[in-house]
Structure 1
Amino acid sequence: MSSDQESCHLCKEHLRDPVSIPCGHVFCSICLKTYWDHADPSGSYLCPQCRVAYNKRPTPRRMGGSRHSTIQRNSESFPPPPPSPDYNYAGPQDVGCDICIGKKHKAIKTCLMCLASYCEKHLKPHYESATFKRHKLVDEIGHLDRQICPQHQKGLELFCRTDQMCICVLCTVKEHKGHDMVSAEQERAEEQQRLGATQAEIQEKIHDRLKQMEELKQAVDALKNSAHRALQECEKMFSDMMRSIERMQQEMTKLISTNKRAALNNAEGHVERLTHEIADLKRRDNEITQLSRTEDHIHFIQSYQMLIAQTDAEELPTVTVNPYFTFGPVTKAVSEMKQHLNEFSNDELVKVAKAVNKMIFCQLDESKKRQSIKSDEAAMYKSVPVQEPQYREDFMRYNRPGRSSRGHRMAHQL
């Protein structure tokens, strides 16, 4: 065993019941056990000296036959008593004892007079000696330098209300002479009362904010349900309107077809009548031609009188055709109806948009807002202004992709 292994790395004293671990370092059995008992059970086990990590807690090997143990057993002086099993050392997050040399123990108290923190062992003089009777012990605190006056290196015991800062007794002589000063205890007591009122106010604000958040959540749910119902009802009404327009289109098609068919039937009747009349007239013309060629004078006279009498007695009706007949008025009427419908729908949609945009869902009450809130942060709570659509092109920008072909056809017709 080397000379540097004559003492335990943990307690800095002679080895008692030495044990070794796989990395080769030797410690007191009780020191090593206590050290690993206070290790993080979920982490690895480190060698206190070389910091080698073991995933599983190693089983120490006793060094009973070593020369050092033999010398220690034969020594006339008794070794110091072993440390208590609850012997705890200060970790990275703990406050260490300012008196311990080497590996420091956890501090359990801080003396505001000595401006030092002590472990259980080194704290005993403060309890046993009358010298420390006037010293004030508090639970260990970190950042002890904050308790010291940076100018006089004395403990901070007073509070200067004029400068709103903690000071030491020497500060009252010059720097804070004539200022309004009270003890730290008195200032703490008054601030403690204000702190309680502040805490009650904060709790009330928390309750108020939770209530507002719950109301906002309920309002959001109601808004979603209302928007869903409005979409369904509007889609149904627009579908009804499109079906009405389709019925109007069918009625207009039926009207044009009926009038066309009636006009054609009338024209066909006149054509048929004119055909018969032309055939009859041609027959008479043929009879007159044959009569003019006959050599029988009696037959000519008798037939001529009959033909003349028949021709004079018969008057053929005249068929008058309107060269300006057209279905243009129908097209014009539909065009005017389209224009009126387009203007009416735009006006109504603008009215609806104005009415909806005037309804405020939620907003921040500016009168109760703290002055510390910046204007750009407050703007996050305001409603986003919506530009009201005025023309058909404005509404078409809100048209969602993927609409039915009938919807596009309807929009095109309008």
Structure 2
Amino acid sequence: MASGNSLLSEEQLLCPICLDVFNRPVSTPCGHNFCLSCITAYWDDIPVSQCPVCKESFERRPDLKVNTFISQLTSQFMSLQLTDAHGRQPRCGGAVLCDICTDSRREALRSCLECLTSYCDVHLEPHHRAAGLKRHTLVEPTASLEDRICKEHSRLLTVFCKNDEVLLCDVCAGSRHANHDVVYALHLYKERKALLEDTEVQVQQMIQERVQKVRDVTVTVERSKTETKEVIASGVQDLATLVSEIQKSQTELVKVIEEKQKAAEERAAGLIRGVEREISELQETTTKLRELKQTEDPLAFLHCSSNPSLLPRTMDLSTVSFNGQVEMRHIQKVLSNSVSQLRMLLKKLSTDIQNVSDGSDVSDSATLRRVQQYEVDVVLDAETAHPRLILSDDRKQVRYMTSSGIKGSQNPKMFTSKFAVLGQRGFSARRFYFEVFVGGKTEWILGVAAASIQRRGAPAQISHCGLWDIQFVKDKFKTFTSPNLPALFGKVERVGVFVDYEGGQISFYDVKTSTLIYSFTECGFTEKLHPYFNPCDNEHGSNLGPMIIVPVHRTE
């Protein structure tokens, strides 16, 4: 093989099985050549070892060895291909110069792989003439030839070990890397180059996607700026209007109270004047009576004492009352309830604003989905159930029974004053969530209670009684600790209860609409909390339907 113009073609060095250039070629007894891995795999899949080309069968599987001649021939062919491919690439630093020229170095015409030298047309002439040099391999002018030769075996680096990621000569590949994944460098070069092209296309696509994303985000930011200004203006206007209405209500309240007070003072003044006039008339009558008592003439005395004008006409004091204080207390009560509702709304507004500030997801549906992940299995504790309550066999349902034939019990765990029952399991130092189907019930109570909650006698309606619940009555909700303060208006069918023990928070949700009904915050829990159920009686209409503990996502 005297030059790059080889008499061999790639087709002559292809394995008949994989149709690729030989990799560790072997020869069968019939004289055909295959890749060692290809013929081995082929024989593993058939019962009799035979040649895939001529179909000659062998009694025993031949012990094949790598054909070093074909291997070297293939390696040299691949090195030519690799070198030619390298020579066709743009060369950094310009043309390859002749290594022999001394004065004015001319451009090299060929490079010799055996001499590791590049020659111009003049100095290349001995390789065409001398018999020993004619056998050298000439390739396109190539720089850094020494980097293409194995330093240990002085052979061309034609293969690549994928296990160690190094270039090898055919000797290295057959010795220390015999069991490694070794491929021809030219094939891997083409494969990885194609991969680079695909990667480049992918990178360009990623660039375009990110450029478009930057544009989209920029547009979104501009829109957000506009929307933010509108939201700020609207929010400020709404709050300013609310403040103005509160101030107006304050002015009207002061005016009404002052007018009430003025009217009361005028009524009191009229009453006082009337009473004082009667006092004056009675004092005059007293004087007349004293004079009459001093009359000695019986006839004159009888004549005067029988005169009805001696007693002046007076009002019936039992019918006279002044209720100014009662009226003011009524106004104060109405005002207190209204202010409490307003404070609750302002507290909710403050919480929503804080959630936005903290980056929390203020979407009700997203919040509900987040807390539903803390679902726990709740079953009812029959020992705590009021005698009027009936539990289902699976202890997932509770309802009120009108019959009074149930005997009482002395069980200290049982509720006696409330139609209540607790969940069997208590929870502490964690978050938990459960859902309850209430359907069309007209009244019910749901929440959580401390393990030590009072079971006999009505618990006090204070914030530290160990009960945190909401009560539904006909069309509105209220809380146990604030019975006169509506928490929400409207009816629900399914209620979710979420408890954050460490966070000191209990929240109730309308599962169907993902709406927050009410939240207890800043609670101080010191013991286990149990789910609390009270289906209530029939005070507000038919209410015999059960409260049902249901799993998340199940539709009743």
Q: With structure 1 as the length reference, what TM-score do the two structures score?
A: 0.47
> Counting strand residues as a fraction of each chain, which structure ranks higher?
2
Q: Which has the higher contact order (CA 8 A, sep 6+)?
A: 2
Bigger radius of gyration: 1
> Counting helix residues as a fraction of each chain, which structure ranks higher?
1
